[in-house]
Homo-oligomer: A and B are copies of this chain.
Amino acid sequence: MAIRLALIEVHSLCTRALSHAGLREDSCRALANTITACERDGEKSHGLFRLPQWVRALHLGKADGTTAPALHDIAPSAVMVDAKRGFAPLAVEVGLPTLIQKARANGIAVLTLREVFHYSALWHECELLASEGLVSMAFLNSKSFMAPAGGTDKVFGTNPMAFGFPRPPSSPPLVFDQASAMMARGEISLMGQQGLQLPGGCAVGPDGQPTTDPAAALLGAQLPFGAHKGSCIAMMVELLAAGITGGPFSFQQREEDCDDTSASPTRTSETIVAIDPVRLGGVSSLDALYGHTEQLFEALAQNPEVYLPFSNRHERREKSEAHGIEISQELFEEIQLLLPGVK
């Protein structure tokens, strides 16, 4: 049986559970915002399903719920936030205003996040930046789960990158957020539960041989999308997230954290680049940008089979805002156990 919750109830469940686990109030709110946004948009894989894992990270002391992120204004176009082993959403919230101000002042700017427990999606920050009229790219590494193309050792994380581009107020912004792995880890688990086989090329088993068995894939190593070219993207994400920040590479996060059974968050790094398109000399205003770039989206829309990322999200969003969302009875009961006053 499914339980229907209003979005305000989703937010409240998150803040109550996280606060009870010792997380500071501003971080509870920031984290609840992102979990609620994911549930609202139908992105279940980053929604309430992960709440017990965030709470567990606090109980195990892997994440620090008490520290405040420290903002360092490093250079005219660079800002760094040291999350001090706290969760990502608050660190992003602390860094974004300075990133936005620097991008507008200088044309382009970069925000790096260090020592961050990141367990959320990247599209959220790219959508926010797009709503400010900025183009953005975000890069995040994670504990290693993926071999480079041609290899069998887990060197790379699933290494998502996201991209956001502003559109006129009448359209949702263009945002994509995609792992460098061919399939998401959650999708592989789900196919295993359903007794399905994986498509070829998405993993090797623990023996290093290609496999279509979900269980073997989870024990072995995932593979990048698009063979060598996707592997290059994964390496770029690794170097932009962990390389330039001095943070641990994905294979080093694996060495730090032997908990292989869950996709538990680890101490990682994120890099966000923001570009102000009206400060580059090509277009004089956001309206001029839209007059130009909407022509591309119109050309794409002429082909109804083409998938434009983010296009379905806003329909789901409106529906959730009106009618709430559903979670399973099991998950609802699991979350009840995390709330104050429950033995």
- Show the binding face of A for B, using Cβ within 8 Å: 72, 74-78, 80, 105-110, 112, 114, 135, 137, 147-153, 155, 163, 165, 174, 176, 178, 182, 225-233, 235-236, 238-240, 242-247, 249, 251-252, 269, 273, 275, 277, 279-283, 288-289, 292-293, 295-296, 299-300, 302-303, 305-307, 309
- Look across to chain B and name the residue whose beta carbon is closest to the beta carbon of A80: B281
Query: Are B292 and A246 in contact, with the CB atoms below 8 A?
Result: yes
Chain B CB within 10 Å, residue with most, of A80, A105, A225, A280: A280
Query: Are A273 and B165 in contact, with the CB atoms below 8 A?
Result: no
Q: In whole angstroms, what is the CA distance A248 to B342 when docked?
A: 61
Q: In whole angstroms, what is the CA distance A151 to B307 when docked?
A: 9
Query: Are A239 and B303 in contact, with the CB atoms below 8 A?
Result: no
Q: A273 is contacted by which of B78, B151, B273 (Cβ under 8 Å)?
A: B273
User: A76-B106, A229-B230, A246-B288 are contacts. A150–B307 as well, Cβ < 8 Å?
Assistant: yes
User: A232-B309, A273-B108 are contacts. A243–B296 as well, Cβ < 8 Å?
Assistant: yes
User: A239-B293, A243-B165, A243-B292 are contacts. A232–B176 as well, Cβ < 8 Å?
Assistant: yes
What B residues does A176 contact at CB under 8 A?
Answer: 232, 235-236
Query: Are A296 and B238 in contact, with the CB atoms below 8 A?
Result: yes
13 inter-chain pairs at a CB distance below 8 angstroms, sorted by A residue, are: A75-B279, A77-B107, A78-B108, A80-B280, A108-B108, A137-B236, A148-B307, A153-B302, A165-B243, A176-B236, A178-B232, A243-B296, A246-B282
Q: A305 is contacted by which of B109, B150, B225, B243 (Cβ under 8 Å)?
A: B150
Q: In whole angstroms, what is the CA distance A19 to B264 when docked?
A: 62
Query: Are B75 and A106 in contact, with the CB atoms below 8 A?
Result: yes
Query: Are B110 and A110 in contact, with the CB atoms below 8 A?
Result: no
| Min distance, Cβ A265 to any Cβ of chain B, angstroms | 20
| Min distance, Cβ A168 to any Cβ of chain B, angstroms | 14
Query: Are A80 and B244 in contact, with the CB atoms below 8 A?
Result: no
Q: In whole angstroms, what is the CA distance A105 to B235 when docked?
A: 27
What B residues does A292 contact at CB under 8 A?
Answer: 243, 246
Q: In whole angstroms, what is the CA distance A80 to B105 when docked?
A: 16
| Min distance, Cβ A296 to any Cβ of chain B, angstroms | 5
Q: In whole angstroms, what is the CA distance A309 to B228 when docked?
A: 9
Query: Are B229 and A280 in contact, with the CB atoms below 8 A?
Result: no
In order of increasing CB-CB distance, the 6 nearest A-B pairs are A226-B226, A78-B107, A246-B282, A75-B107, A77-B106, A80-B281
Query: Are B299 and A249 in contact, with the CB atoms below 8 A?
Result: yes
Query: Are B307 and A155 in contact, with the CB atoms below 8 A?
Result: no
Query: Are A148 and B178 in contact, with the CB atoms below 8 A?
Result: no
- Look across to chain B and name the residue whose beta carbon is closest to the beta carbon of A305: B150
What B residues does A243 contact at CB under 8 A?
Answer: 135, 165, 277, 289, 292-293, 296
Q: In whole angstroms, what is the CA distance A199 to B31 when docked?
A: 45
What B residues does A76 contact at CB under 8 A?
Answer: 76-77, 105-107
